[in-house]
A and B are shown apart, each in its own frame.
Chain A
Amino acid sequence: MSFQFTILIPLIPLISFLIIGFLYSKMSNKLAGIWGSVSIFSSFLLSLFTAYRYFFEVGRVNGVYPKILGFDFEWLRFSDSLSAHLGTLIDPISVMMLVVVTTVSLMVHIYSIGYMKGDRGFNRFFAFLSLFSFSMLGLVLSTNIFEIYIFWELVGVSSYLLIGFYYEKNSAVAASKKAFIVTRFADLFFLIGILILSFYTKTFDFISLTDPSNIAVMQTGSITFMGLSVTTWALLLIFIGGAGKSAMFPLHIWLPDAMEGPSPVSALIHAATMVVAGVFLVARLFPIYALGSDQALQVIGYVGAFTSLFAAVIAMTQMDFKRVLAFSTISQIGYMMVGLGVSGYGNEAGLGYMASMFHLFTHAMFKALLFLCAGSVIHVVHTNFINEMGGLRKHMKITHITFLIATLAIAGFPGFSGFFSKDEIITAAYHNNKIIFYTELLVAGITAFYMFRLYFRVFWNQEASYEHKPHEVEKTMTIPLIILAFLSIAVGYIPFGNFISSDSMPLESHINWGVASASIIVSFTGIIIAWVLYKKPSNLPERIVSSIKVLYTWAYHKFYIDEVYLFVTKKIIFNLISRPIAWFDRHVVDGAMNGIAWTTSWVSESIKGLQSGQLQKYALAFVSSTIILSALLIYILLNV
């Protein structure tokens, strides 16, 4: 069964990007919007077709889903045994990611036609969206770690371009630079990790990298450094790259600022697809993590758990609609990392892996929906701050209902998709690590609280005084909301373990009712507290805040992590390292160069008088020196 056509899935958006980009000023907005949407729609159909063919027509071979090279092209040949390929790798997680990316991207494209209407940069926006779709689809289809690195940087660039979309705004420019620099900084470690890993395994290829028999070979032959094996080091470095892109503590600082971009961008890039690239990367290399290095996996688990708690606490205090969602995204990605961190390889132990991928899938749907709803609300009320909103349920019925569905899904309300996936992560943590289990249970409660705080504050509570009377947004914007709301409920009922598991064997997952009831109770508590505090206007929240003033201030200022970064970069790196280097560069390096130039010009200035232009002076010099030289020569010859 051929999968050659899969190369078209990323290429169609690329072509769309080139066409919209080159015909930028010639194309009408409507045409650009439709063109972008149609091309992503064809990628979407191809992805569905791929999924159908892969899971149902090819199916299992010897009980596992095979890894298929849909398309393979040798691009750079370093030696007989090492070469970099470009191509498409078809396996369960790449097919799942194809579906996720194209679905969300399609919804965001359609939504953006309405959302960006009348914007000066409409065509630019669609060109960048297509570029991003191309990069992200290339990333998920990568056959080797070299190719994934290329697309990894490409999604970084498109994210940079889209965060800084409103480039007249200083804050947007600063945010885009911050996002690019922070993720690029993390990618440095990723690159070192790639180099170490491929140096010891002599391959870039995912299929041979993740082959369990190869991993054993790598283990026995590797040396140790600072008490950890080389494999662990390589995997940790690669994880740092993933943590940068997935906004794990302490590299999360760029994601809240990335909300400066238009809301559809936040939905597509900074909620559903690009930010889960780190999770995808770890999942892609999961057999190496699971079989090669327990320490690395533990680090991932703890980092994920800490990040999810940390971000959830901050999310409770934020007043900016999109920032709450941004911290919620960080927290949910923390969940996915936890799922991977507590997972083992194969059978029941691999529950965490399956749960993590499942959560990635469901989270993409409901988080994209939340951001699109946020976009609609901000579009209508022209403010980001939730204390300037309220009572919107009467004016925006569709947005209200879809937002409620997404909120129930993320809060883990039974029956909604988030409940199933989150519950499996918590169950996996329960079997593996009790500390992480209790943390995640607590975070589930906090998540329910801050999401319903948002919901009640925006859609209930006291109606704020709006400049214009709020109204429901247009059809191109509400249709994606409705589709995503439907998906936010429906995807939870997919028997996910049948399709994706750590070793591709079918994994029956049952709801562990003990754990599930604990998490349900916790979520309900969160929802009820939010109900009491925010459904009607009251001074209760202020009183609670004033009773825990210090804690609140710290959380409100995001635990001053940004300030720590600024201190480290501005005070320590700039003053102690950059300034001396700049001084050395300006005075010693430049000074040497300027000195050479000055000496040259001084010498030529002083001897230029010789070039008098008088022919006879030259001739005199020539004749006299010839005479002197001949005399010398004769003298020497006579005295030999």
Chain B
Amino acid sequence: MGKPIRITLKQANDMMGGLALQDFLVVSTSMFFIGIFGFLTRRNLITILMSVELILNSVNINFVAFNYFLHPEAMHGIFFAIFVIAVAAAEAAVAIAIIINIYRRFKSINIENVSEMKY
């Protein structure tokens, strides 16, 4: 392991390079709706899972950006983002397990084939 890189608040501010909150929000909103679009239109379960990750990450960006710009003295947003990442990892594991089972049963991971639970 190398020496850990230490970054002061000042240096971090410099790294932002004058980006404003709106810039972050534009990115996260675009990511969110790209994720939604993918979730609603893709037929492959893996792709849908990826779309969900996209949605979660857009939320993470929001958390961190709001934390940084509005309450720079607090760390809540950052911790929340870490929680979301942890939950997303667990969720991905469960989701993939489900997808594997679906594949075993239907020999396909096309979501349109999985409609056993209809009326």
Q: Mark B16-46, 1 if CB is under 8 A from A, else 0.
A: 0000000000000000000010011100000
- Other-chain contact of B40, A608, A612, A613, A616 (Cβ < 8 Å): A616
> Do B111 and A612 touch (CB < 8 A)?
no
Please give the number of chain A residues whose Cβ is less than 8 angstroms from any Cβ of chain B in the complex. 11
User: Looking across the interface, which residue of chain A has its beta carbon closest to that of B111?
Assistant: A615
Asked if residues B119 and A616 are in contact (CB atoms below 8 Å), the reply is no
Judging by beta carbons under 8 Å apart, are A614 and B119 in contact? no
Q: Can you pick out 8 interface pairs between chain A and chain B where the beta carbons lie within 8 Å of each other? A: A611-B118, A614-B112, A614-B118, A615-B114, A616-B39, A619-B40, A623-B36, A623-B40
Query: What's the minimum C-beta distance from A429 to chain B, rounded to whole angstroms?
Result: 83
In the assembled complex, which residues on chain A have CB atoms less than 8 Å from the CB atom of B115? 612-614
Measured in the bound complex, the distance between the Cα atoms of B36 and A458 in whole Å is 105
User: Please, which residue of chain A has its CB at the minimum distance from the CB of B115?
Assistant: A613
**A608 contact set on B, CB distance < 8 A:** 119
* Shortest distance from the beta carbon of A487 to any chain B beta carbon, whole Å: 81
Question: By the criterion CB–CB under 8 Å, are B119 and A620 in contact?
Answer: no
CB interface residues, B 102-119, toward A, < 8 Å: 111-112, 114-119
Q: Which residue of B lies closest to A620 (CB)?
A: B40
A609 interfacial contact with B, CB 8 Å: yes
A264 to chain B, nearest CB (A): 66
> What string of 1s and 0s marks CB contacts (under 8 Å) between B56-85 and chain A?
000000000000000000000000000000
Which B residues are CB-close (under 8 A) to A614?
Answer: 111-112, 115, 118
Taking CB atoms, residues of chain B closer than 8 Å to A612 are 115, 118-119
Q: Are B39 and A619 in contact (CB under 8 A)?
A: yes
Q: How far is the CA of A503 from the CA of B90 in the complex (A)?
A: 93
Measured CA separation A295–B40 after assembly (Å): 91
- What number of residue pairs across chains A and B have CB atoms under 8 A from each other? 29
Apart from A609-B119, A613-B118, list 20 A-B contacts with CB within 8 A: A608-B119, A611-B117, A611-B118, A611-B119, A612-B115, A612-B118, A612-B119, A613-B114, A613-B115, A613-B116, A613-B119, A614-B118, A615-B111, A616-B39, A616-B40, A616-B41, A619-B39, A620-B40, A623-B36, A623-B40
Closest to A615 in B: B111
B111 touches A616 (CB 8 A): yes
Residues of chain A with a CB closer than 8 A to B112's CB? 614
Of all chain B residues, the one with the shortest Cβ separation from A612 is: B118
Residues of B within 8 A of A619 (CB): 39-40
Shortest distance between the CB of B52 and any CB in chain A (Å): 10
Given the complex of chains A and B, what is the CA–CA distance between A200 and B115 in angstroms? 72
Question: Which chain A residues (487-526) contact chain B, with CB distance < 8 Å?
Answer: none
- Chain A residues whose CB sits within 8 angstroms of the CB of B40 once the complex forms: 616, 619-620, 623
The complex places the Cα of A612 from the Cα of B41 at a distance, in Å, of 16
Closest chain B residue to A610, Cβ basis: B119
Q: How many Å from the CB of A630 to the closest CB on chain B? A: 13
Instruction: List residues 151-175 of chain A with CB under 8 A from any CB of chain B.
Output: none
A69 to B112 Cα, complex, angstroms: 83
B117 contact set on A, CB distance < 8 A: 611, 613
Which residue from chain B places its CB closest to the CB of A607 in the assembled complex? B119
Question: How far, in angstroms, from A471 to B114 measured CA to CA in the complex?
Answer: 88
Max chain B Cβ within 10 angstroms of own Cβ: one of A612, A614, A615, A620: A615
Contact with B along A600-627 (1 / 0, CB 8 A): 0000000011011111100110010000
A616 CA / B36 CA spacing, docked (Å): 11
Question: How many whole Å from A10's CB to the nearest CB in chain B?
Answer: 63
Q: Which residue of B lies closest to A604 (CB)?
A: B119
Q: Which residues of A contact B119 (CB under 8 A)?
A: 608-609, 611-613
**Interface of chain B residues 84 through 111 with chain A (CB within 8 A):** 111
Residues of B within 8 Å of A620, CB to CB, are: 40
Chain B minimum-CB-distance residue to A611: B119
Of chain A, the residue at the smallest CB distance from B116 is A613
Cα of A612 to Cα of B119 in the assembled complex, Å: 7
Q: In the docked arrangement, what's the CA distance between A616 and B113, Å?
A: 12
Q: How far is the CB of A588 from chain B (nearest CB, A)?
A: 33
Residue of B nearest to A614 (CB): B115
Q: Which residues of A contact B114 (CB under 8 A)?
A: 613, 615
B-contact bits for A406-420, CB 8 A (1 contact / 0 none): 000000000000000
Task: Report chain A residues within 8 Å CB of B41.
Answer: 616
Distance of A173 from chain B, by nearest CB (Å):
51
User: Once the chains are docked, how many angstroms separate the CA of A612 from the CA of B116?
Assistant: 9
Output the nearest chain A residue to B118 by Cβ-Cβ distance.
A613
CA separation between A275 and B110, bound complex, in Å?
83
- With the chains together, A609 CA to B117 CA distance in Å? 12
Nearest Cβ distance between residue A615 and chain B, in whole angstroms?
Answer: 6
What is the bound-complex CA distance between A245 and B111, given in angstroms? 77
Cα(A612)–Cα(B117), bound, Å: 8
Q: Residue on A with the closest CB to B112?
A: A614
Complex Cα–Cα for A611 and B36 (A): 21
* Nearest-neighbor residue (CB-CB) of B39 within chain A: A619
Chain B residues positioned under 8 Å from A623 (CB to CB): 36, 40
